[in-house]
Structure 1
Amino acid sequence: MQFKDKYIDLNTPRVMGILNVTPDSFSDGGRFLGRENALKQAEAMILEGADFIDVGGESTRPGAEDVSLQQELDRTIPVIEAIATNFDVVISIDTSKPEVMQQAVSAGAGLINDIRALGESGALSAATSSGAAVCLMHMQGQPKTMQAAPQYRDVVKDVYTFLDTKTQQCMQAGIPKSQIIIDPGFGFGKTLPHNYQLLDRLEELNNLGFPMLIGVSRKSMLGHLLNRDVDQRLAGSIAAATIALTKGASILRVHDVKQTADAVKVVSALSAYKD
C-alpha cells in the first residue's frame, strides 16, 4: 500500500506504535508531550519494530474533552516534522479535523487515521486532496458519551454496513481503493460483549476487501475482563492482538511495540513454514 512517498507491503502484518502527545490519554497521557520526548519515544518504537508511528494530539478515551484546533496543531505538527526529518517511517496523524489533516500531511504524514471516518465537515475533501492513505474507523456516538448505552441489532453486521458505506463514499470522492484501511473501532461505543463478539467474528470484515487496522492495546475490554489496571494489560493485549492476526488483521496499533512485533513474527511463521 502506498502512503504518500512510502510503500508498505501489508501482506505481511505490521505494527503501528502509538504516540500520544496529549496530557490526558488513558494509558500514557503526559508522558510524551513536547518535541524531544516524543522524538525519543518514536525512535524507541521504530527500533522495536514499528513500521508506523501514529501521532495523536487529542485524547479519544471515553469522556474525553475536545481540544481546540490550535492546541492540536501545536501538539502534533512539530512532532510530525521532527519524525519525518529523522526517521524513515510512515507517520499517521490521528485526527478528525480537516485543517490538522492538511497540515500534518504537508509536514510528512502519509496516513490519516480518523475515528470519525472522515465524517466531520470538510474532512473527506481534505483527505482526498491530501493524497494520503486513510483509515476509517467505526464509532457509535462521540467520545464524550459513546459508552453510555451502546446498542446494536448485530454488532458485526452493523459495523460491516457502516464501513461498507464509508469506503464507498471515499472511493466516489476520489480516494483510491488501494489507499483505504478499515478499523472496526474496539471500545468506541461498544460494551464488553460487543467487543468480544466483534473479535470472535472479525474475519467477516475481510469480505469488504480492505486492509484492517486493529487497536485493542491496553483497552478497557481487557481491563474489565481481567480486572487489571491499564499498566498490567500486556498479556491480554498480546492475546487479543494474536487472535486478530489469525483473523486477518494487517496492522496492529499498540503501545507495546516490541512484544507485539514478537507475536506478529510467531503468527507469520505459521504461513512461512507450511509444507
Structure 2
Amino acid sequence: MAIVNRTPDSFHDKGRTFALEPAIESVRAAASAGADWIDIGGVPFAPGPEVSAAEEIDRVLPVVEAARDLAVVSVDTFRPEVARAVIAAGAGVINDTSGLRDPAMADAIAGTDAQLVIAHSLAAPRTLWPSPKYDDVVGQVTAFLEERISTAQDRGVRPEQIIIDPGHDLNKNTYHSLEVTRRLDEIAAIGYPLLVAVSNKDFIGETLDAPQQERLAGTLASVVYCVLHGARIVRVHDVRATVDAVRMTEAIMGWREPAFTRHNI
C-alpha cells in the first residue's frame, strides 16, 4: 500500500504532494513501482490546523478519481461523510486511524463493497496524547481491536470487509511500537487481514538514531519481520524497495515463484 498525502504537514513528505499535480504524479509512480493499493490522505493523524470535511473531500476526491483505474484506492479518513463521498467516487478501502471513534463510520461502510481498516489509537485524531501508558500494550491493542470489530459488525459491516492495524506509533512510544512488532503474531491471531504502517516512523528513527529521510533500511527490516509474523498489507512511502523486499521474502517462504531462472539451470 503506497502513501500519497494531499496535506501540507505530513510527517514524512512535508507537503511534497500537497498540490494536485504532484499528488497525481505520485499515484502514477507508485502504481508503476508495483503498489497494489494506494492510500490517499487529506488530514494527518498528528495535531495541526483544523481541516473541514468539505476541504478534506476537495483534497482527496480528485486523487481518488486519478487512482481508481491504477490500483485499489484507500482513503485515510476518520469522517463518515468523507468515506461516503470517496466510496461513491471509486475508493475500495477506508483507512480509519481513529479505530471507529465515530461509530457512524461503520454505517458508511455497511451495505457497500468497501473494506474498513480499523486501527488502534488512544486519542482522537489531531489531538495530543503525551506519555501514553499501557500495562500490556499488545493485550490492550488486541482487546481494543476485538471490541471495535464487534461494533462494526453490530452496525452491519461484514466480516470479510474488516482489516485490522495495531497502529504503530499512534499514541505509542518506541518501546510500545517495538513490542507490538515483536508480538505481532498475537495480533494477527485475531483472525482478520492485518495491515501494518511502519514506514519511516519515529520508533525506527529512535531505534537507529536515524533522521526522517534515512530510515529506509530500518523500514525494510520492520516490513520483512511483520510479513513473517502475519502482516498481509504493508503501508509504505518507498514503494519499489518495499516491493522488492516483500517479493524476496515471499519467494524465500515459497509463496512466490522467481521472476525467471537461468543460474545453474
Tell me how far apart the structure 2 counterparts of residues 183 and 131 of structure 1 sit (CA, whole Å): 20
Deviation at 1:144, TM superposition (A): 4.3
Please say if residues 99 and 148 of structure 2, whose CA atoms lie closer than 8 Å, have aligned partners that are also in contact: yes
Tell me how far apart the structure 1 counterparts of residues 104 and 228 of structure 2 sit (CA, whole Å): 36
SS of corresponding position for 1:254:
coil
Please say if residues 35 and 82 of structure 1, whose CA atoms lie closer than 8 Å, have aligned partners that are also in contact: no
Which residue of structure 2 lines up, in the alignment, with residue 58 of structure 1? 43
Q: Does 1:177 align with 2:159?
A: yes
Q: 1:218 aligns with which of 188, 197, 200?
A: 200
CA RMSD of aligned residues (A): 1.6
Q: Does 1:71 align with 2:65?
A: no
Deviation at 1:273, TM superposition (A): 7.5
Structure number with the bigger relative contact order (C-alpha 8 A, sep ≥ 6) is 1
Taking the TM superposition and a 5 Å limit, the aligned residue runs for 1:56-205 are: 56-61=41-46, 63-84=47-68, 87-120=69-102, 122-205=104-187
Query: Runs ≥4 in structure 1, deviation > 4 angstroms?
Result: 143-147
Which residue of structure 2 lines up, in the alignment, with residue 9 of structure 1? none
Please say if residues 59 and 65 of structure 1, whose CA atoms lie closer than 8 Å, have aligned partners that are also in contact: no
Inter-CA distance 121–178: structure 2 relative to 1 (3 Å threshold): closer
SS of corresponding position for 2:164:
strand
Q: Give 5+ residue unaligned stretches, structure 2.
A: 257-265
Which residue of structure 1 lines up, in the alignment, with residue 12 of structure 2? 27
Inter-CA distance 168–273: structure 2 relative to 1 (3 Å threshold): closer
Q: 1:253 aligns with which of 232, 235, 244?
A: 235
Inter-CA distance 273–171: structure 2 relative to 1 (3 Å threshold): closer
Which residue of structure 2 lines up, in the alignment, with residue 10 of structure 1? none
Tell me how far apart the structure 1 counterparts of residues 240 and 85 of structure 2 sit (CA, whole Å): 30
SS of corresponding position for 2:171:
coil
Please say if residues 94 and 116 of structure 2, whose CA atoms lie closer than 8 Å, have aligned partners that are also in contact: yes
2:251 maps to amino acid: A
Tell me how far apart the structure 2 counterparts of residues 64 and 127 of structure 1 sit (CA, whole Å): 27
TM-score w.r.t. the length of structure 2 is 0.92
1:151 maps to amino acid: K
Tell me how far apart the structure 2 counterparts of residues 198 and 273 of structure 1 sit (CA, whole Å): 25
Taking the TM superposition and a 5 Å limit, the aligned residue runs for 1:36-51 are: 36-51=21-36
Tell me how far apart the structure 2 counterparts of residues 172 and 203 of structure 1 sit (CA, whole Å): 26
Deviations 1:133-175 (A, max 9, x none): 1000000123444440101110000000000111122122221
Tell me how far apart the structure 2 counterparts of residues 65 and 188 of structure 1 sit (CA, whole Å): 18
SS of corresponding position for 1:272:
coil
SS of corresponding position for 1:18:
strand
Which residue of structure 2 lines up, in the alignment, with residue 11 of structure 1? none
- How many residues were matched structurally? 256
Please say if residues 134 and 179 of structure 1, whose CA atoms lie closer than 8 Å, have aligned partners that are also in contact: yes
* Identical residues among aligned pairs (%): 38
2:48 maps to amino acid: A
Which residue of structure 2 lines up, in the alignment, with residue 268 of structure 1? 250
1:51 maps to amino acid: D
1:248 maps to amino acid: G
Please say if residues 204 and 219 of structure 2, whose CA atoms lie closer than 8 Å, have aligned partners that are also in contact: yes
SS of corresponding position for 2:110:
helix
Q: Give 5+ residue unaligned stretches, structure 1.
A: 1-15
Inter-CA distance 119–273: structure 2 relative to 1 (3 Å threshold): closer
Deviation at 1:178, TM superposition (A): 1.0
